[in-house]
Amino acid sequence: MARSLARGPGGEPGPVRARGGGCPGTHPASGLTHRRPDMLQRIGSAVLTAAATGMSLVLCAAGTADAAPTSQRVGIGMLRLAIAYEHASFQGASIDLYASDCYFMRSQHDLPPEWNDRISSIKVLQSCSMIAFEHGQSKGASARFSFLNVGIGGWNDRISSYAFVR
């Protein structure tokens, strides 16, 4: 037997409502859904958990960004001739070493106080060599470095000044 649709005032079909035992969670007479407090509690808990997870990801990401190594610049001139790193294998904070050219008298510099006796690896970028000195003002024992120096052996945490030569 076919069910007839209720008709509105203009003869068009009206809304269909569930009757007696319709969809689960609906009121039998009106077809309106019941509000279930346990469902609201579960949704509320899920929203709070998602918000807490999102906030912790944001806070953790901000903490790691602050821990990233930083680079500093020292020397005059436009040529970056070397990069010195605080740890072996080019790790940790770094300092860019600049000079005008590779001539000893024009390229000697003392390291800033915070970099004194701190260098553990060096990348020489140009066709120069870097002369490292044990003391400031290019004094004391010296060693010559070229190209990539993953570790600098007995010169680890010992360099106070430098110069470039061809």
Rg of the chain over all Cα atoms, to the nearest angstrom: 37
Ranges of the chain with pLDDT below 70: 1-70
Q: Tell me: the pLDDT tens digits for 115-162?
A: 999 999 999 998 899 999 999 999 999 999 999 998 999 999 999 999
What is the structure's pLDDT at 122? 97
Task: Please answer whether residues 122 and 145 qualify as being in contact, where contact means their C-beta atoms are separated by less than 8 angstroms.
Answer: yes
What is the structure's pLDDT at 55? 52
What is the structure's pLDDT at 118? 97
What is the structure's pLDDT at 143? 97
What is the structure's pLDDT at 65? 44
What is the structure's pLDDT at 49? 66
What is the structure's pLDDT at 146? 94
What is the structure's pLDDT at 62? 43
Q: Positive or negative, the Cα torsion across 44, 45, 47, 52?
A: positive
Count of other CB atoms within 10 angstroms of residue 72: 14
pTM of structure: 0.58
What is the structure's pLDDT at 107? 85
Task: Please answer whether residues 145 and 81 qualify as being in contact, where contact means their C-beta atoms are separated by less than 8 angstroms.
Answer: no
Count of other CB atoms within 10 angstroms of residue 102: 18
